[in-house]
Amino acid sequence: MILVNENYAKLQSSYLFADIAKRVKAYQAAHPDQTVIRLGIGDVTEPLPPACVAAMHKAVDEMAAAATFRGYGPEQGYDFLREAIAANDYRARGAAVDADEIFVSDGAKCDTANIQELFGAKITVAVPDPVYPVYVDTNVMAGRTGACRSGRYGRLVYLPCTAENGYVPALPEQPVDLIYLCFPNNPTGATATHAQLSAWVQYARANKALILFDAAYEAFIRNPEIPHSIYEIEGAREVAIEFRSFSKTAGFTGTRCAFTVVPKTCVAYTRAGDTVSLHALWNRRHTTKFNGVSYPVQRAAEAVYSAEGRQQTRALSDFYLANAKIIRDTMADLGFALTGGENGPYIWIQTGTRDSWKFFDRLLERAQVVVTPGSGFGRCGEGYIRISAFNSRVRVEEAMTRIRRVL
Ligand code: MLT
């Protein structure tokens, strides 16, 4: 008899963004004459930077000629891209990361979802609340969380991120083994200082724990004091894995390219207390389950680091941050307390009502604007909404006009 993985039955409803898409589709079907503006899921709208497009075209031409055609590439990514990442994203910021510690992939969502396969079933996992749902759901699927009661899984340790702590979680009061951190944060837009990240690295070192650091939104950091990488923190190479993505940085949500950094010094332990290289494990996993990102896409990603590419991608994040300012200014003017949008593309807004989904419905039905209900990210998100700055200027301005009218 074929048995199912019963852990799936512990998952709460469907994936948050699938849930939202379903509600929006139903609304649109019932109101075909209304134009809905989407500021929910963080999906980019602006075209790829010209430098990336040119590199991709050139690579496609290479694939069209027998002399330059390429079949399977290295699972970990081509050296040209790994070298460019190590030099520009890390060494240029004083963070010691070698090219062969970088694993190119098709998305940070997939990597943050898949990485938990490397760890034992009985470990204690700590997640921020609110949290990007992928961290939680994948641990539920793997059987690490226990059942969900009143919106919380019994075996997860939740790290509240609230207005009181500036949306940066305090260290846990009980020992934990695996810690998910995301800065600039999705969904709150909060950032962590050098001192705050140092405290987490010290915690991980003292407790033989591991930090999974999601830095998918680092390109939006404008405050020069804020670290872009966990490896800017002394001691992090032994206790942290970092995830990055070209999705939001360079408009690659539909093109797919990201990477994970697993330092060779980063370890986990056997039950007997022996150390195991996580670089070796991830390499084993990656070579077994992944066949690499396509050559034209990796060439396009490499172009992000060219002189024109850097200038064009900076212009892209500047553009979305200018959208974020419009959203911040409007919502603040309407009297809402908010955070984010200055070093990240998300604005986290206290709605003043208890029910995030009700507020979501109100904005959808009365303003035809889609946002994300904060409670979809966890209990601490109840009473908040997240507005994404990813859309055209015209649509963001129109959305703000409509929201002004209905609130
Ligand atoms: C979000 O809206 O939180 C993101 O777009 C989700 C993702 O990047 O997977």
Residue nearest to atom 9 of ligand 1 (CA): 109
pLDDT value of residue 352: 84
Q: Phi/psi at 354 (nearest 5 deg)?
A: -80, -25
- Between the CA of 248 and the centroid of ligand 1 the distance, in Å, is 9
Residue nearest to atom 5 of ligand 1 (CA): 42
* Number of alpha helices (DSSP H) and beta strands (DSSP E) in the chain: 12, 17
- Between the CA of 41 and the centroid of ligand 1 the distance, in Å, is 6
- Between the CA of 358 and the centroid of ligand 1 the distance, in Å, is 22
User: pLDDT per residue over 304-331, tens digit each?
Assistant: 999 999 999 999 999 999 999 999 999 9
- Between the CA of 16 and the centroid of ligand 1 the distance, in Å, is 10
CA–CA dist 22, 15 (Å, integer) = 11
199-203, 291-295, 353-357, 363-367: least confident range? 353-357
Mutate to test the pocket of ligand 1, among 41, 105, 138, 249 (most ligand atoms within 8 A of CB): 41
Verify cis geometry, omega within 30 degrees of 0, for the bond prior to 184: yes
Instruction: Give yes or no for residue 354 having a pLDDT over 90.
Output: no
CA–CA dist 52, 273 (Å, integer) = 46
pLDDT value of residue 237: 98
pLDDT value of residue 151: 87
User: pLDDT per residue over 332-342, tens digit each?
Assistant: 999 999 999 99
State the pLDDT confidence band at 14, using cuts at 50, 70 and 90: confident
DSSP summary character for residue 292: -
Q: Which of 246, 356, 238 is nearest to 301 (CA)?
A: 246
- Between the CA of 186 and the centroid of ligand 1 the distance, in Å, is 8
The per-residue b/e assignment along 193-219, b for 16 or more CB within 10 angstroms, e otherwise, is eeebbbbbbebbeeeebbbbbbbbbbb
Mutate to test the pocket of ligand 1, among 16, 17, 217 (most ligand atoms within 8 A of CB): 17
pLDDT value of residue 15: 79
- Between the CA of 62 and the centroid of ligand 1 the distance, in Å, is 33
User: pLDDT per residue over 114-142, tens digit each?
Assistant: 999 999 999 999 999 999 999 999 999 99
The per-residue b/e assignment along 41-78, b for 16 or more CB within 10 angstroms, e otherwise, is bbebbeebbebbebbbeebeeeeeeeeeeeeebebbbb
Instruction: Give yes or no for residue 13 having a pLDDT over 80.
Output: no
Give the residues across from 242 on adjacent strands: 213, 261
Residue owning tokens 């990603």? 301
User: pLDDT per residue over 251-264, tens digit each?
Assistant: 999 999 999 999 99
Residue nearest to atom 4 of ligand 1 (CA): 42
- Average pLDDT of 274-278? 98
- Between the CA of 207 and the centroid of ligand 1 the distance, in Å, is 31
DSSP summary character for residue 20: H
pLDDT value of residue 8: 96
Contact status, residue 244 vs residue 215, Cβ threshold 8 Å = yes
pLDDT value of residue 277: 98
State the pLDDT confidence band at 374, using cuts at 50, 70 and 90: very high
Ligand 1 site, CB within 6 A: 41-43, 109, 186
Mean pLDDT rounded to a whole number for the chain = 97
CA–CA dist 259, 276 (Å, integer) = 22
Give the whole-number percent of the chain exceeding pLDDT 90: 97
Q: What is the DSSP string of 370-398?
A: E-EEGGGG-GGGTTEEEEE--S-HHHHHH
Give the residues across from 245 on adjacent strands: 258
Residue owning tokens 């994404």? 388
- Region of 251 please: left (phi>0), alpha (psi -120 to 50) or beta: left
Q: Which of 340, 400, 371, 401 is nearest to 16 (CA)?
A: 371
CA–CA dist 382, 364 (Å, integer) = 18
Length of the chain: 407
- Average pLDDT of 220-236? 98
CA–CA dist 283, 259 (Å, integer) = 13
CA–CA dist 50, 104 (Å, integer) = 22
- Between the CA of 43 and the centroid of ligand 1 the distance, in Å, is 7
Q: What is each CA distance from 156 to 10, 124, 135, in whole angstroms?
A: 13, 7, 11
CA–CA dist 376, 133 (Å, integer) = 8
Mutate to test the pocket of ligand 1, among 43, 220, 253 (most ligand atoms within 8 A of CB): 43
pLDDT value of residue 71: 97
Q: Which of 327, 345, 346, 344 is nearest to 336 (CA)?
A: 327
Amino acid letter for position 156: L
- Average pLDDT of 87-100? 97
Which of ligand 1's atoms lies nearest the C-alpha of 17? 2
Mutate to test the pocket of ligand 1, among 39, 137, 186 (most ligand atoms within 8 A of CB): 186
Stretch (H or E) spanning 241: strand 240-245
The predicted model scores a pTM of: 0.97
And the tokens for 38? Answer: 């989407």
Contact status, residue 332 vs residue 75, Cβ threshold 8 Å = no
- Between the CA of 405 and the centroid of ligand 1 the distance, in Å, is 28
Instruction: Give yes or no for residue 344 having a pLDDT over 80.
Output: yes
State the pLDDT confidence band at 187, using cuts at 50, 70 and 90: very high
Pairing label, strands 346-350, 338-340: antiparallel
Mutate to test the pocket of ligand 1, among 24, 109, 131, 137 (most ligand atoms within 8 A of CB): 109
Q: Which of 135, 237, 248 is nearest to 181 (CA)?
A: 135
